[in-house]
Amino acid sequence: MNQVISGLSSMATRSVLTDLSELVRRTHGIPVRFESAGGVDVARRVRAGAGADLLVLAEGALAELEAEGHLLRGTVRPLWVSQVVAAVPDGTPLPALDSERDLRGALLSARRIAYSTGPSGTALLGLITRLGLTGTLSDRLVRAPAGVPAGSLLASGRADLAFQQRSELMDLPGVAVVGPLPGDTAINSVFGGGVLASSVRPGRAREVLDLLGSDTASGIARAGGMQALGYRGRPGARRPV
């Protein structure tokens, strides 16, 4: 019997990895099981010595962990790019997001704005600073706990506007996705994978990683709110156009 290839991932890729793991099991006979949590928590667990074969995280976190020796060099590769989208409580009017002016209006009209602890949240705070709205909005910003979708704050009434990866918002009950941010305010996050130094099956783990990033897997990734990326060396070597 094939031994299970285990992986750790951020919540943003949980749904995609669930479907892709089933594809790998069904078509290649390799059982794969990912455990997902907040990206910050996953990185902490890896640094603490968590045992697994594969790691899927945002490329910045992957690069740091590789530099620290937690990932096998030469195995880290980009997989998917994910758009950050705006969302509102289901049943409320959808704000226009066709221009930077529209985005400013949506931000200024919101009473509470939810964002995540992950790369999308960091990028959103940077965007708000670039727009010159930090002082105006600082009291309205609500950061979701690690591993908790920002959209859950919409459904519970704790926010009326949220920003996060499309993959984490698209299927949440009580949430309506407005769409991506307009023009040069757009935020894209690249997620990649690598073989952990703790893996006892690094060859098989690398095979699974290549399958996750294959053309065959791209349709499943797209259905899960992510755009597949081809392998062009290290993470960041290729960007979507």
Among candidates 157, 198, 193, which has minimal Cα distance to 174?
157
My answer on whether 63 and 91 are in the same domain is no
My answer on whether 203 and 216 are in the same domain is yes
* 130-160: pLDDT as tens digits: 999 999 999 999 999 887 889 999 989 999 9
Determine the Cα–Cα distance for residues 61 and 162; give it in Å rounded to an integer. Answer: 23
Predicted confidence at residue 228, as pLDDT, reads 83
Predicted confidence at residue 2, as pLDDT, reads 65
My answer on whether 10 and 48 are in the same domain is yes
Q: How many domains does the chain have?
A: 2
Within 10 angstroms of residue 202's Cβ, the number of other Cβ atoms is 16
My answer on whether 62 and 95 are in the same domain is no
Predicted confidence at residue 170, as pLDDT, reads 86
Asked if 46 contacts 55 with a C-beta cutoff of 8 angstroms, the reply is yes
3-state secondary structure of 80: strand
Structural domain of residue 139, as residue ranges?
A: 82-185
Burial class (CB in 10 A: 0-12, 13-18, 19+), 125: middle
Tell the residue number behind the tokens 């690249």, with chain if given: 190
Predicted confidence at residue 233, as pLDDT, reads 39
Predicted confidence at residue 155, as pLDDT, reads 87
Tokens representing residue 34 in the block: 């990912």
* Spans of the chain, pLDDT less than 70: 1-2, 230-241
My answer on whether 76 and 194 are in the same domain is yes
**Quick check: is 233 in a domain?**
no
**Quick check: is 168 in a domain?**
yes
**Quick check: is 235 in a domain?**
no
Q: Which amino acid is at 172?
A: L
CB contact set of 200 (below 8 Å; sequence gap of 6+): 53
My answer on whether 153 and 92 are in the same domain is yes
My answer on whether 66 and 109 are in the same domain is no
**Quick check: is 236 in a domain?**
no
**Quick check: is 240 in a domain?**
no
Domain CATH number, residue 15: 3.40.190.10
**Quick check: is 49 in a domain?**
yes
Determine the Cα–Cα distance for residues 225 and 167; give it in Å rounded to an integer. Answer: 5
pTM of the shown model: 0.82
Burial class (CB in 10 A: 0-12, 13-18, 19+), 138: exposed
